Amino acid sequence: MVVLAAGGTGGHLFPAQALAEELVARGFLVHLITDERVADYGKAFPAIETHIVPSTTISLSKPWLLPGRLYRLFRGVLQAKAILEKLQPEVVVGFGGYPSFPPIIAAWRLGIATCVHDQNAVMGRANRFLSRFVDAVASSFPKLARLPEKAKTKLVVTGNPVRALVMAERASPYPASGADQTFNLLVFGGSQGARFFADFMPKVMAEMPRAILKNLRLTQQCRPEDLEAVKAAYQALNFRFDLRPFFMDMPLRIANAHLVICRSGASTIAELGVIGRPAIMVPLPHALDNDQLRNAESFAQAGAGWIKPQTDLVPGEFAAFLTRLRYEEGELRAAAKAALDHGRPDAAQRLADLTNRLAVNSAKAKLEKKST
């Protein structure tokens, strides 16, 4: 049995789901420990049972809240400990964020084998702290910035696992994009959407040549509160578009796209690479540790996309850049191939192999302990 610990946001939960799918296929029993937000993203998670455990982010910016938050984490550790004592798993795998904190600490206290997986090119704060307690640190990138010195011997590069829905689109050929053919542009800001694109993209579309708008099909993720304003702006420009708060078939949308405009969260980069689609990346400017910029740099340096810092964006200039790319099918196809080469389609298998090794070692240690 394996217990996975992942917070209820897509960036942490989707890689955990991908690992769960692989482990279940190998015959493992899988349980999930998460927080209250799982209802939004965890419906398809292949776990025997989902356990909700309290957790919270620790921040020194509001010190008066620290005692209450530490108490909430302490309660989470106690609850996670009770769950693990009942389940008796061989391994607990955490996927970063503070929701993974209680299960990993509880597992460490109980002597259960542990691993944390970091999705980003910069190690997250929770994982940096937990790295001292775990048996292995799995990384999506060959170079993991801010990995503590003492944890470097625990590092295993696996890549960032993607769900079966994403893997199903890996063989999708890059769509033809001749001058008179429909050009599919996909815009999204991660699993929770991005207010910035709702404000910026209508201004960009207003600057695009009519000849391009005529054959454009824009698919854009918008927050519910932004939908009507964006819809009105696009209707006034008279081109084809599809706006929704969330696309359940996002991997298919990526596969159908000629070009993607997006943030550069770890799961986004992983899915673009596995499917093989070029992207203009606008890293979240206030991301912790600038991890989105580091993720984007890895993708861009591979020739798979272009980085456009949000603070530098001007609608007219961005429209001109899009216009140039629209007619450079060779450049887009080369970037799509580079993206495919950058992807790690075997990441779930690699992480499952690591989990299996930890489980086998754990079982051996238990047998040796019983025999002595």
- Which pLDDT belongs to residue 179? 80
201-248: pLDDT as tens digits: 999 999 999 999 999 999 999 999 999 999 999 999 999 999 998 888
Cα 152 to Cα 206, 240, 267, 327, 357: the distances in Å are: 50, 50, 23, 46, 18
Minimal CA–CA distance to 144: which of 128, 162, 163, 126?
128
Contact (Cβ atoms closer than 8 angstroms) between residue 140 and residue 146: no
Locate tokens 């993203």: which residue?
41
Domain ranges of the chain: 2-161+346-371, 167-342
30-58: pLDDT as tens digits: 999 998 776 555 567 899 999 999 776 66
Taking residues 164-192, report their average pLDDT.
Answer: 87
Residues 6+ positions from 80 with CB-CB distance below 8 Å: 5, 33, 51, 53, 102, 103, 105, 106, 107
- Which pLDDT belongs to residue 281? 97
Q: How far apart are CA 147 and CA 273, in angstroms?
A: 24
- Which pLDDT belongs to residue 171? 78
pLDDT at 192 over 80: no
115-170: pLDDT as tens digits: 999 999 999 988 999 999 999 999 999 889 999 999 999 999 999 999 999 999 99
Taking residues 101-119, report their average pLDDT.
Answer: 96
- Which pLDDT belongs to residue 64? 66
Average pLDDT in the chain: 91
Sheet architecture: strand order including 91-94: 49-52, 30-34, 2-5, 91-94, 113-118, 136-139, 155-157
282-292: pLDDT as tens digits: 998 876 678 89
Angle between the N-to-C axes of helices 266-275 and 10-25, in degrees from 0 to 180, rounded to the nearest 10: 50
Which pLDDT band holds residue 198 (cuts at 50, 70, 90)? very high
Q: Return the HEC string of 329-352.
A: HHHHHHHHHHHHHHCCCCHHHHHH
- Which pLDDT belongs to residue 12? 83
Which pLDDT band holds residue 364 (cuts at 50, 70, 90)? confident
Minimal CA–CA distance to 1: which of 26, 21, 23, 29?
29
- Which pLDDT belongs to residue 65? 65
Highest mean pLDDT, choosing among 8-22, 52-66, 310-324: 310-324
Superfamily the domain 167-342 falls into: Glycogen Phosphorylase B; (3.40.50.2000)
Please tell me the least confidently modeled range out of 30-44, 259-273, 337-351. Answer: 30-44
Q: How far apart are CA 313 and CA 159, in angstroms?
A: 31
Same CATH topology for 2-161+346-371 and 167-342: the answer is yes
Q: How far apart are CA 78 and CA 93, in angstroms?
A: 18
Taking residues 74-80, report their average pLDDT.
Answer: 91
Which pLDDT band holds residue 309 (cuts at 50, 70, 90)? very high
CATH topology for 2-161+346-371? Rossmann fold (3.40.50)
- Which pLDDT belongs to residue 275? 97
- Which pLDDT belongs to residue 370? 76
pLDDT at 191 over 80: no
- Which pLDDT belongs to residue 282? 95
Please tell me the least confidently modeled range out of 70-79, 185-194, 286-295. Answer: 185-194
